[in-house]
Amino acid sequence: DTEVTQTPKHLVMGMTNKKSLKCEQHMGHRAMYWYKQKAKKPPELMFVYSYEKLSINESVPSRFSPECPNSSLLNLHLHALQPEDSALYLCASSQVSGGAGEQFFGPGTRLTVL
C-alpha cells in the first residue's frame, strides 16, 4: 500500500466550529507532515512529526492543533479558524524525517471557513 489517505475531501466550517482533519498511511513511514496550500502557491509546511513526536512547528497559530495518535495516523484539530485559513490542507509521509527520501502526499482536504 503506497497511499496516503485524507478525510474529509471537503470541509466547510464556521469560525466558531471545531473540526478535525484525518490522515492515514500504512507504508511504515515514521515521519508525517501537514502542509497548507493556498491557490496558485506551493505548499507551506506547518508541522512535522517524527516517530510520533512533534519535531517542527512552523510558527502555526494555536487554532491549529496537530496530533499523532500512532505511527499510521495524523490528525489536525481546528478551532476558531479565520476565513483566511481557507486552503487545501495536505498530509504527507516519508520513511524518516531527514535524509534524501521523498515525501508521499495525500489528496488533500479542501477547507472553507465562512
Partner 1 sequence: AQSVTQLDSHVSVSEGTPVLLRCNYSSSYSPSLFWYVQHPNKGLQLLLKYTSAATLVKGINGFEAEFKKSETSFHLTKPSAHMSDAAEYFCVVTAGGSQGNLIFGKGTKLSVKP
Residue 93 binds to partner 1 (criterion: CB under 8 A): no
Q: For residue 21, what is its C-alpha cell?
A: 482533519
Q: Among 14-22, 60-68, 71-79, 102-110, which window interacts with partner 1 (CB under 8 A)?
A: 102-110
Residue 84 binds to partner 1 (criterion: CB under 8 A): no
The binding track of 57-76 with respect to partner 1, each residue x by CB under 8 A or -, is: --------------------
Q: What residue has cell string 492515514? A: 24
CB of 14 to partner 1, least distance (A): 23
Q: For residue 111, what is its C-alpha cell?
A: 477547507
Of 18, 38, 41, 77, which lies in the binding site for partner 1, with binding defined by CB under 8 A? 41
Q: Give strand pairing partners of 56.
A: 48
**What's the rounded Cα separation, in Å, for the pair 67 and 44?**
18
Q: Between vectors from CA 62 to CA 29 and to CA 32, what angle results, nearest 5°? A: 5
Amino acid sitting at position 6: Q
Q: Among 11-19, 59-67, 69-77, 105-113, which window interacts with partner 1 (CB under 8 A)?
A: 105-113
